[in-house]
Amino acid sequence: MTVPPEPILSVKSVTKRYRSVAALQDVSADFYPGEVHAVLGENGAGKSTLMGILAGFVVPDSGTVTLNGGPAPIGRPFQARDDGIQMVHQHFMLVPNFTVEENLALSGMRGLWQTLDTKALSKNALSRAIDLGWKVDADERTGSLPVGVQQRLEILKGVADRALVLILDEPTAVLSPSEVNDLFRVLRELKEQNIAIILIAHKLSEVMAIADRVTVLRRGKWVASCRIEETNAEQLEHWMVGEVPHREAAVSTSSGETLLDVQSIDVLGDRGNLAVKQAQFQVASGEILGIGGVDGNGQIELAEALVGVREVAQGDIQRPDATGYIPQDRHQDGLALGLSIEENTLLSHVPQDAENGPMLMRSKVRRWASDIVDRFRVKIGEITDPVASLSGGNQQKVIVGRVLSQNPKLIVAVNPTRGLDIRAANDVHERLRDAAKAGAAVVLFSADLDELALLSTRQLAISRGELGTDYFGSIEAPA
């Protein structure tokens, strides 16, 4: 008879509250070496709070956390890292102006007293890159690298030293399907090295392809835990959201009136490189044009040019005055993290009835912000709380709600459901369809093939700054 392994990391009856919001309520889970354990749930279900507790960043109000049978270093993230718990955050912790070697060395430092020998401190991580089959240029500036390569660096930082547990927060959100396949290859290798891998994810096809075990949270409470062969995608979806949301297929409602006319434009990148080459297309009222491609091929530069925040080097764009933009990077381009939720709903638009000369009418502003929170199901404590206090998915809902509530005639959205759960993503899809049905022209940039197929009335692909019709690969299940 085979004796089952002991869990390497466990939480028992963990509870954490933030003021009036119960982020976690009496949650228990076990994580085993040599397994990929997916943690699922809607935005605000408590996944990130649980991961923060496991990694030592968050102190629970009650409950216990054990590592290798003994007390885990709760509230001591550096000690947790030294004890073998490594976390790869959804938003990368890299210094853009540092080289790859310098970033890896910085992660290897254990105190300000230590001599900064970049070659010595980065040696283990660069060696691990070779072992995992990743080509990494040590002298390349990190900020110039594609997001997929940046994520590899984050994983290398985690496994450079003795890693017992590797926590990955939405690792596939910024990856193309081919990059997802490569990531899963690496996770299987790490699993064979007896590392416990904890994976926060939303895409159920990916969970079914890579996970050995799954735990589902809903509204801060434990719902279910089981081995992956004991469940299916439909059951997981039901556990996550209850009633499974209806998904409507894309239907063109184009009226034929061209609202966006792009004529042979060239667009430069931040370093003066030619990021977009001779792009030309039109989008009519009622259309959703989907543009797919691997991140880093000119999507951001083209999107910014379409809404007028980046100049074109050549060519011309005709667009309506009422334009809405949902950027990819919510922290850098979408939100002012130090301001309140209410204040963030006003960043790109102030409701006309809320203005009284140079003054704002507080009651009208509050009504506007509360309406966005209610209609887009943003899980908050108080409307005056900092927007930084929200989960990543709920931050995204604030941006999407702010933009779509203005009823723009042109909507440019870049990966608008990245980091969103099933219900929230479905809500965003429904809102974009409604906007198109009401006569808006929508340009949707997405690396998610399923999202493109579901929403777009026609599709293009972008590769090395050039528009075409060729697409990239699909997710592969393990053999």
- Above 90 in pLDDT, residue 59? yes
Residue ranges in 147-291 assigned as alpha helix (H): 147-159, 177-192, 204-210, 233-241
Task: For 408-457, give the DSSP string.
Answer: -SEEEEESTTTT--HHHHHHHHHHHHHHHHTT-EEEEEES-HHHHHHH-S
| CATH T-level fold of 9-241 | Rossmann fold (3.40.50)
CA 85 – CA 170 distance, rounded (Å): 17
Check: pTM over 0.75? Answer yes or no.
no
Is residue 476 within a helix (H) or strand (E), and if so which, with residue range? none
In this structure, is the dihedral angle defined by the CA atoms of residues 470, 233, 216 and 199, taken in order, positive or negative? Answer: negative
Longest dimension (CA), the chain: 79
Residue with tokens 């010595």: 120
Beta-carbon count within 10 A of 3 CB: 5
pLDDT per position as a tens digit, 151-162: 888 888 888 877
Would the pLDDT of 473 be above 70? no
**Among 320-334, 414-428, 434-448, which stretch is predicted with the lowest mean pLDDT?**
414-428
Structure tokens belonging to residue 69: 């049978």
The pLDDT of residue 472 is: 42
Structure confidence at residue 436 (pLDDT) = 93
Residue 381: pLDDT band (50, 70, 90) is confident
Mean pLDDT, rounded, for 323-343: 88
* pLDDT range class, residue 150, cuts 50, 70, 90: confident
**Domains 9-241 and 258-468 fall in the same CATH topology:** yes
Residue 276's pLDDT is 94
What's the pLDDT band for 478 if we cut at 50, 70, 90?
Answer: very low
Name the 3-class secondary structure at 280.
strand
Which token pair is 323?
Answer: 């334009």
* pLDDT tens profile 62-99: 999 999 989 999 999 889 988 999 988 877 788 888 99
Please state the domain extents for the chain: 9-241, 258-468
- Using an 8 Å Cβ cutoff, are 403 and 357 in contact? no
Q: Euclidean distance between the first and final Cα of the chain, in Å?
A: 27
CATH class of residue range 258-468? alpha beta
Report DSSP letters for 227-293, one per residue: EGGG--HHHHHHHHHSSPPP-PPP-----S-EEEEEEEEEEE-TTS-EEEEEEEEEEETT-EEEEE-
* pLDDT of 474: 37
- Contact in structure between 106 and 112 (CB atoms under 8 Å): no
Question: pLDDT-based confidence at 12, cuts 50/70/90?
Answer: very high
- Residue among 199, 193, 202 nearest 213 (CA): 199
What is the chain's mean pLDDT, rounded?
85
Among residues 349, 354, 293, 350, the alpha carbon closest in space to that of 324 is found at: 349
Question: Between these two residues, 23 and 1, which has the higher pLDDT value?
Answer: 23
Q: Residue 252 above 60 pLDDT? A: no
Rg over CA atoms, the chain: 23
Give pLDDT, residue 428.
Answer: 87
